[in-house]
Amino acid sequence: MKKIVFEKEKCIGCQACVSVCPAFWEMSDDGKVNLKEGVEEDGSFTRVPEEVGCNQNASESCPVRCIHIEEDNS
Ligand code: SF4
């Protein structure tokens, strides 16, 4: 299984991820984005999706590289 890890602190709110992967990413009124159904963990947000899908694109599109696709070892 793969896990999406979002370091929200680094997000600059450019919305590139929202453009390529709106099913998972949405703009927030704090000027950053939210990972839909993300669970906060040590200041980052994580979610284990059924399919990584467009999150791979979101990760590659992010100019500050704050979206990571990692192995889920839990
Ligand atoms: S692409 Fe990266 S910096 Fe831009 S809004 Fe998404 S998470 Fe934030």
Geometric angle at alpha carbon 18, from 50 and 48, rounded to 5°: 20
Q: What is the pLDDT of residues 10-55, one digit of tens each?
A: 999 999 999 999 999 999 999 999 999 999 988 899 999 999 999 9
CA distances from 9 to 1, 13, 21, 60 (A): 25, 10, 20, 18
Nearest CA to ligand 1 atom 8: 11
Q: How far is CA 40 from the centre of its chain?
A: 12
Q: DSSP assignment, residue 4? A: E
CA of 62 to the centre of ligand 1 (A): 5
pTM comes to 0.95
Looking at residue 8, what is its pLDDT? 98
Give me the domains of the chain, ranges plus CATH numbers. 2-71 (3.30.70.20)
Tell me how far the alpha carbon of residue 4 lies from the centroid of ligand 1, in angstroms.
Answer: 13
5 Cβ below 6 A of ligand 1? no
Which is the closest atom of ligand 1 to the Cα of 25? Answer: 6
